[in-house]
């Protein structure tokens, strides 16, 4: 055994790396031959010092070659960042994308472009660094109480990504034209116009590598538990901070130059590990090689394709799209469940003496919310507190109903999922149903330029069903283990984000329509659809209430459930399908974003509604009220411009999240 | 109004005397004007309507129009409808236009908006559309739609005559041009077949250096390297995004690409790239100006 293990751990990564390298060289030679029409090195590496330089030489020397080299450096850098994060957090799913660093950098750059353009000239990489660092800090704050358990970190990362994405959407909705360039950046294009990027990246990667090498020995101790590490005299906090800081620095430097490149930081280290590189040092080496080659090969292949298409396909979004299936494949190979204690759902929450009275108070508050949203608001000639004319109600009533229905659906779906998984961070967004809907709708909007609303709705239902089918197929074998389900959702969401980046980067004039739908508005709902949604919401609530016995028992774990005679797999599937249908209906109305499904169940718990029936009813009331209010606020503050309800709800929800951090 | 300060009251009479003839003239025109009151979401439709003096009452995203289309300027009485993708329905209903004009871009709103007023969709850009005849057709259609046939014909004639004049005044053998707009320092929209600029270039007898594929709006999003090896003078339509001018001054590729006799790029003030006849005319004027200044 002893002699075999190291032998394998070198042979397998070596083989894969050599294979990738061969593909890279093959593609490169092919492209060089096509561009220069021959096999002469002198024409492959043109000398720009001469008097007459042809345009083709120029494109080769200042475009093609720097692009190849930059891709290699960027890939290596992101892979190194991924290894460091995974090592420090003992989490195979940690990466610049999953920890929110990329999303934070994106938002920071957008905000700087709009509000402080001088900063962008001074140093975009520092803006990206600040944004990325803050976002990762937020993820840690969210998952701190649960000991940075891998699944919790990934979920917190997803939530932070969604929140920052909502903010970015708000900026985008009103400044589409100005931010067009950043959309390309956000999709990660590696196009080059000289050697300055490679020259910028290389020394920084070298420095980071030296520091990483110095940290290597102490970092290995992190594989032990904390107590043994401390016993060996290592300052663990400092070590973690230094390694994570280094990883964030690498990510920020790389993305500020080449844009958001998804999943290389996640994929490369995991491939290396699965190929048998177990020791940290060998993981660093192989990950960097594999990351560099993966990115360069993807990029060269896309350059081949680009010649045939009127729009470019940015490399970063493409790696993200390829990374999603990889993540799906990876999930069953991870051992996760043993590390997540399901304690938060059963302890530490307040418990109301008389929950019925609290529910009654909430129910009595509803008419107030409804009245404000129906009666008050901006009219064309000014603010009016009470306007009773049908000509005004005609527009407000469908939106009020749609918001209430969608809010209820999301809140109940969120409650179902949180009770099913025993995880307070589970929500419909996390399940990936809304991701499936948005993938289908985005592609529909792009490929069918004059699609009607009902066609889009049909597409949306198709997307929800596809996502649900994927969830069921991939999770049947594990008996719908909650952790697996949520991770499948994370992967679908990642794919949805990649599709979004691709579509938006295409600089399509329809961008605003896409952004408007993505940010979730009740705008497109007519009265009949609104009534339909409300009816659906009512039925779903009743069905959910009928399931409340199961929901009482599921949080206690599979063993307890079986002991009291509940069929766990069947029960989980039923709850899952119900939640998925509810999410799909709500997503069609209100778009894929909104934290209502996360927020409402959570607030209901905080109000002491701990029994499943009370929890469901409380969350439903809160969800309705919040969504109606969000819709109303969004229509008032920038009148006549409307901020979509989903965005307002996300912003309120995200803020509440930060306030409620101590709960997690 | 009742509590207006005395300082202002002093101005009332002179102002009224001065304004009265103007007001009367306006009223006499308006009173006779039975043309439909039109609201639109589309900036291209809007610029054409304004150019033919139609009764435009509502337009989406006025501030966006002001910074991306700019001219012809929006008359003061036009109300803002909010975002183009989500015009404010309450506002729209309060304005109560007689007709709503859309482009296929917002055709999915047709059902919603038709509860306020009849909706008509005007299609200008699309795959395989011959742009100049389409510009003429849409202008005529809008003229009829707005009861401004005469003005529409005049706009077509005026623009085409002016373009001919410009073609005569251009250098004898104008070089081919490559029209681009920067998205960031390494990516441009390059305009070709199916697009407004291409149609104008054709009428001016100037070759378009970009012969590659374009999307349904007549542009392709490409990296700068795609411009190498193309034959033609680069024409940059401003504005440059934040920081791009500075980055370009440091870009080895851009410096080489635009280095040499008659290779430095021509710069044009912002023009709406997906516009109608007014934008076409402005683009031609600016191109002539840039060639003359060169």
What is the per-residue pLDDT across B52-65, written as a single tens digit (0 to 9) for each? 888 899 998 888 88
Peptide bond into B126 cis (omega under 30): no
Enumerate residues 396 to 455 of chain A having a beta carbon within 8 A of any beta carbon in chain B.
396, 449-453
Chain A residues in contact with B87 (beta carbon < 8 A): 640
Fold of the domain built from segment(s) A4-32+87-335: ABC transporter involved in vitamin B12 uptake, BtuC (1.10.3470)
pLDDT value of residue B130: 84
Least confident of A69-83, A148-162, A623-637, B36-50: A148-162
Mutate to test the interface with A, among B186, B254, B259 (most CBs of A within 10 A): B186
Residues A647-662, mean pLDDT to the nearest whole number: 74
Percent pLDDT > 70 in chain B is 88
User: Would you state the pLDDT for residue A663?
Assistant: 56
What average pLDDT does range B8-14 have in this prediction? 56
Lowest mean pLDDT among A42-51, A436-445, A624-633, B284-293: A42-51
A306 and A487 in contact (C-beta within 8 Å)? no
Tally of CB atoms within 10 A around A176: 24
- Of B181, B213, B182, B183, nearest to B197 (Cα)? B181
Mark yes or no for CB contact A513/B106 under 8 Å.
Answer: yes
The reply to whether residue A524 touches residue B112, judged by beta carbons under 8 angstroms, is yes
Q: Is the pLDDT of residue A69 over 90?
A: yes
User: Which residues of chain A neighbour B93 with C-beta distances below 8 Å?
Assistant: 391, 394-395
Q: Which residue has the higher pLDDT, B46 or A638?
A: B46
Residues 308 through 337 of chain A touching chain B, CB cutoff 8 Å: 309-312
* Cross-chain CB nearest to A310 (options B89, B186, B215): B215
Smallest Cα–Cα separation from A244: which of A386, A90, A442?
A: A90
Asked if B222's CB is within 8 angstroms of A453's CB, the reply is no
* Least reliable range by pLDDT among A189-193, A254-258, A381-385, B195-199: A381-385
Two tokens, residue A566: 């509940």
Chain A residues with CB-CB distance to B105 below 8 A: 509-510, 513
* Contacting residues of A for B184, CB less than 8 Å apart: 181-182, 184-185
**What is the average per-residue pLDDT within A176-203?**
83
pLDDT at B235: 92
For testing the chain B interface, which of A53, A119, A509, A516 should be mutated: the one with the most B CBs within 10 Å? A509
Residues A304-320, mean pLDDT to the nearest whole number:
76
Q: Which of residues 47-66 of A touch B (CB under 8 A)?
A: 48, 53-56, 58-59, 62-64
The answer to whether A440 and A429 have CB atoms below 8 angstroms apart is no
Domain boundary assignment for chain A: 4-32+87-335, 398-663
Residue spans of alpha helices (H) in A144-276: 150-174, 180-186, 196-220, 226-231, 236-258, 264-274
A177 interfaces chain B, CB cutoff of 8 Å: yes
Taking a C-beta distance cutoff of 8 angstroms, is the pair A183, A500 a contact? no
The proportion of chain A whose per-residue pLDDT surpasses 70, expressed as a percent, equals 86
- pLDDT of A289 > 90? The answer is yes
Average pLDDT, chain A: 80
Enter the pTM of the model.
Answer: 0.79
Q: Please name the residues in contact with A220: beta carbons below 8 A apart, sequence gap of 6 or more.
A: A279, A280
CATH second-level architecture of B170-293?
A: 3-Layer(aba) Sandwich (3.40)
Q: Give B241's contacts in chain A (Cβ within 8 Å).
A: 113, 178, 180-181
Of A64, A184, A512, the CB nearest to B84: A512
At the topology level of CATH, where does A398-663 sit?
ABC transporter involved in vitamin B12 uptake, BtuC (1.10.3470)
CB–CB contact B228 A55 (8 Å) = yes
What pLDDT is stored for residue B248 in this prediction?
Answer: 86
**pLDDT range class, residue B21, cuts 50, 70, 90:** low
pLDDT band at A4 (very low <50, low <70, confident <90, very high): very low
Return the pLDDT at A72.
94
Tell me whether the CATH fold assigned to A4-32+87-335 matches the one assigned to A398-663: yes
- Alpha-carbon gap: B140 to the closest alpha carbon of chain A (Å): 23
Backbone angles phi, psi at B99, to 5 degrees: -145, 155
pLDDT at A6: 43
What are the residue ranges of CATH 3.40.50.1980 in chain B? Answer: 38-160, 170-293
Rounded-to-integer distance, Cα A664 and Cα A94, Å: 19
H or E element at residue A620: helix A612-636
Residue A512: which of B85, B219, B229 has the nearest Cβ? Answer: B85
Phi then psi for B52, rounded to 5 degrees?
Answer: -100, 15
Per-residue pLDDT averaged across A575-599, rounded?
82
Q: Considering only the beta carbons, identify the residue of A113, A177, A452 that sits closest to B242.
A: A113
pLDDT at A101: 86
Point out the residue among A451, A507, A526 whose CB comes nearest to the CB of B189. A507
CATH of B38-160, one of 3.40.630.30, 3.40.50.1370, 3.40.50.1980, 1.20.1440.20: 3.40.50.1980
Long-range contacts of the stretch A460-465 (C-beta < 8 A, 24+): A460/A584, A460/A587, A460/A588, A461/A584, A461/A588, A463/A436, A463/A437, A463/A438, A463/A439, A464/A433, A464/A436, A464/A437, A464/A580, A464/A581, A464/A583, A464/A584, A464/A587, A465/A436, A465/A584
Q: What is the mean pLDDT of residues A595-621?
A: 87
- Å from B51 to nearest chain A CA? 23
pLDDT of res. A231 = 64
Mean pLDDT within A151-161: 78
A559 in contact with chain B, both atoms CB, cutoff 8 A: no
**Chain A closest-CA separation from residue B68 CA (Å):** 9
pLDDT level of residue A262 (50, 70, 90 thresholds):
confident
CA atoms of A323 and A495, how far apart (whole Å): 8
Closest chain B C-alpha to A614 CA, distance in angstroms: 38
Question: What pLDDT, on a 0 to 100 scale, did the predictor assign at position A208?
Answer: 93
Residues 341-380 of A with CB under 8 A from B: 377-380
Check CB contact under 8 Å for B253 and A194.
yes
Put simply, whether A120 touches B (Cβ < 8 Å) is yes
Tell me what percent of the residues of chain B surpass a pLDDT of 90: 20
Q: How confident is the model at residue A526 (pLDDT cuts 50, 70, 90)?
A: confident
- Closest CA in chain B for residue A511: B85
pLDDT reported for residue A79:
94
The arithmetic mean of pLDDT across residues A587-597, rounded, is: 78
Interface probe for B, chosen from A112, A127, A181 (most Cβ of B below 10 Å), is: A181
pLDDT of residue A52: 63
Compare all CA atoms of chain B with the CA of A65 and give the residue at the minimum distance. Answer: B225
Helix (H) or strand (E) holding A19, with range, is: helix A4-36
Least confident among A290-299, A471-480, B24-33, B270-279? B24-33
pLDDT tens-digit series, residues A6-26: 444 566 788 888 998 999 999
pLDDT of A593 strictly over 70: no
SS (H, E, C) B202-249: HHHCCCECCCCCCCCCCEEEEEHHHHCCCCCEEEEECCCCCCHHHHHH
Name which of A55, A194, A644 is nearest B252 (Cβ-Cβ): A194
| pLDDT above 80 for A566 | no
Q: Do B183 and A180 touch (CB under 8 A)?
A: yes
- What confidence category does residue A204 fall into, taking pLDDT thresholds of 50, 70 and 90? very high
Choice between A119 and B46, residue whose per-residue pLDDT is larger: B46
**Partner-chain contact B230 A644, CB within 8 Å:** no
Residue A205's pLDDT is 93
Higher pLDDT, A489 or A206: A206
**Within 10 Å of residue A591's Cβ, how many Cβ atoms?**
28
Q: Is the distance from CB of A177 to CB of B64 less than 8 angstroms?
A: yes
Label residue B17 by pLDDT band (50, 70, 90). low
pLDDT at A451 over 70: no
State both tokens at B251. 């870009």
**Quick check: A621 pLDDT over 90?**
yes
Q: How many CB pairs under 8 A join A and B?
A: 178
DSSP A63: I
Residues of A in contact with B243 (CB under 8 A): 117, 120-121, 124
The rounded distance, in Å, linking the Cα atoms of A489 and A492 is: 5
pLDDT for the residue A7: 43
Hey, are the CB atoms on B256 and A62 less than 8 Å from each other? yes
Indicate if the pLDDT at residue A339 is higher than 50: no
Q: How far apart are CA A408 and CA A416, in angstroms?
A: 12
Q: What is the chain A residue with the closest CA to B221?
A: A311
pLDDT, tens digit (0-9, with 9 covering 90-100), for B101-146: 988 877 778 878 888 888 888 888 877 778 888 899 999 999 988 8
Cβ A55–B230 below 8 Å, yes or no? yes
Start-to-end CA span in chain B (Å): 55
Q: Give residue A338's pLDDT.
A: 41
- DSSP code at position A507: T
Contact state of B83 with A194 under an 8 Å Cβ cutoff? no
Token digits of residue A627: 């969504």
CA distance A206 to chain B (A): 24
> Nearest chain B Cα to A518, which residue?
B85
């Amino acid at each position: 055994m002893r002699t075999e293990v190291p032998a394998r751990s070198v042979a397998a990564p070596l083989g894969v790396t050599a294979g990738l390298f061969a593909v890279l060289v093959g593609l490169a030679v092919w492209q060089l031959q096509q561009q220069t029409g021959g096999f002469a090195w002198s024409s492959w590496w043109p000398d720009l010092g001469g008097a007459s330089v042809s345009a083709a030489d120029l494109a080769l020397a200042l475009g093609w070659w720097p692009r190849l080299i930059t891709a290699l450096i960027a890939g290596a850098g992101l892979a190194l960042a991924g290894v460091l994060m995974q090592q420090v957090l003992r989490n195979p799913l940690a990466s610049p994308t999953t920890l929110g660093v990329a999303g934070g950098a994106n938002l920071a750059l957008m905000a700087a472009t709009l509000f402080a353009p001088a900063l962008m000239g001074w140093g975009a990489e520092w803006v990206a660094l600040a944004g990325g660092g803050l976002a990762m800090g937020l993820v840690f704050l969210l998952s701190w109480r649960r000991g940075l358990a891998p699944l919790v970190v990934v979920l917190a990362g997803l939530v932070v990504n969604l929140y920052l994405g909502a903010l970015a959407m708000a900026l985008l909705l009103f400044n589409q034209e100005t931010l067009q360039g950043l959309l390309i950046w956000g999709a990660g294009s590696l196009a080059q116009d000289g050697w300055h990027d490679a020259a910028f990246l290389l020394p920084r990667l070298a420095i980071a590598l030296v520091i990483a090498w110095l940290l290597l020995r102490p970092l290995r101790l992190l594989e032990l538990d904390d107590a043994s590490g401390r016993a060996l005299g290592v300052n663990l906090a400092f070590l973690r901070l230094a390694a994570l800081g280094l990883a964030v620095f690498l990510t920020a430097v790389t993305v500020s130059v080449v844009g958001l490149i998804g999943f290389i930081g996640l994929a490369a280290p995991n491939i290396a590990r699965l190929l048998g590189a177990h020791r940290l040092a060998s993981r660093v080496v192989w990950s960097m090689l594999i990351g560099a080659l993966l990115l360069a090969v993807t990029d060269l292949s896309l350059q081949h394709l680009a010649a045939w298409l009127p729009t470019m396909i940015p490399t970063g979004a493409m790696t993200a799209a390829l990374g999603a299936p990889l993540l799906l494949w990876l999930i069953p190979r991870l051992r996760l469940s043993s590390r997540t204690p399901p304690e938060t759902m059963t302890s530490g929450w307040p418990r109301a003496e008389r929950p019925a009275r609290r529910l009654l108070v909430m129910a009595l508050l509803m008419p107030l919310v409804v009245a404000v949203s129906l009666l008050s608001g901006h009219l064309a000639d000014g603010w009016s507190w009470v306007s009773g004319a049908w000509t005004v109600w005609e527009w407000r009533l469908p939106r009020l109903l749609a918001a209430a229905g969608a809010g209820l659906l999301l809140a109940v779906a969120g409650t179902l999922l949180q009770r099913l998984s025993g995880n307070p961070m589970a929500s419909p967004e996390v399940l990936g149903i809304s991701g499936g809907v948005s993938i289908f709708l985005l592609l529909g909007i792009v490929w069918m330029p004059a699609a009607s609303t009902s066609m889009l709705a049909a597409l949306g239902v198709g997307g929800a069903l596809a996502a649900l089918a994927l969830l069921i197929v991939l999770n049947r074998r594990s008996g719908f283990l909650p952790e697996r389900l949520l991770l499948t959702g994370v992967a679908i969401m990642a794919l949805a984000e990649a599709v979004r980046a691709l579509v938006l980067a295409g600089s399509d004039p329809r961008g605003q329509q896409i952004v408007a739908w993505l940010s979730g508005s009740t705008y497109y709902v007519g009265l009949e659809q609104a009534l339909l949604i409300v009816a659906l919401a009512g039925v779903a609530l009743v069905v959910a209430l009928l399931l409340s016995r199961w929901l009482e028992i599921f949080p206690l774990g599979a063993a307890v459930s079986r002991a009291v005679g509940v069929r766990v797999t069947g029960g989980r599937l039923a709850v899952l399908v119900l939640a998925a249908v509810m999410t799909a209906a709500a997503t069609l109305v209100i778009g894929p974003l909104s934290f209502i499904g996360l927020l409402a169940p959570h607030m209901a718990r905080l109000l002491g509604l701990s029994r499943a029936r009370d929890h469901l009813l409380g969350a439903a009331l809160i969800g309705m009220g919040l969504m109606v209010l969000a819709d109303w606020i969004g229509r008032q503050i920038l009148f006549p411009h409307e901020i979509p309800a989903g965005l307002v709800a996300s912003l309120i929800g995200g803020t509440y999240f930060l306030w409620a951090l101590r709960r997690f | 109004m009742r509590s207006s300060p005395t300082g202002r009251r002093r101005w009332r009479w002179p102002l009224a005397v001065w304004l009265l003839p103007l007001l009367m003239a306006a009223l006499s025109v308006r009173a006779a004007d039975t043309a439909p009151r039109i609201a639109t979401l589309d900036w291209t439709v809007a610029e054409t309507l304004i150019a033919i003096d139609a009764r435009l009452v509502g337009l989406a995203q006025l501030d966006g129009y002001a910074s991306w289309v700019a001219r012809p300027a929006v008359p003061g009485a036009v109300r803002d409808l909010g975002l183009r993708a989500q015009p404010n329905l309450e506002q729209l209903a309060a304005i109560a236009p007689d007709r709503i004009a859309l482009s296929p871009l917002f055709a999915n709103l047709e059902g919603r908006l038709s509860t306020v007023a009849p909706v008509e969709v005007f299609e200008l850009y699309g795959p395989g559309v011959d742009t100049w005849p389409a510009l003429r057709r849409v202008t005529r259609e809008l003229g009829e739609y707005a009861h401004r046939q005469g003005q529409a014909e005049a706009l077509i004639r005026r623009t085409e005559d002016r373009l001919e004049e410009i073609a005569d005044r251009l250098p004898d053998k104008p070089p081919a041009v490559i029209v681009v707009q920067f998205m960031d320092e390494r990516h441009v929209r390059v305009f070709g077949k199916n697009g407004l600029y291409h149609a104008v270039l054709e009428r001016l007898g100037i070759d378009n250096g970009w012969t590659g594929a374009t999307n349904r709006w007549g542009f392709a999003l490409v990296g700068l390297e795609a411009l190498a090896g193309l034959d033609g003078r680069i024409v940059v339509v401003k504005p440059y995004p934040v920081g791009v001018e500075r980055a370009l001054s440091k870009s080895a590729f851009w410096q080489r690409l635009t280095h040499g006799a008659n290779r430095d790029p021509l710069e044009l003030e912002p023009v709406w790239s997906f516009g109608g006849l007014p934008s076409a005319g402005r683009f031609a004027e600016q191109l002539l100006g840039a060639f003359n200044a060169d």
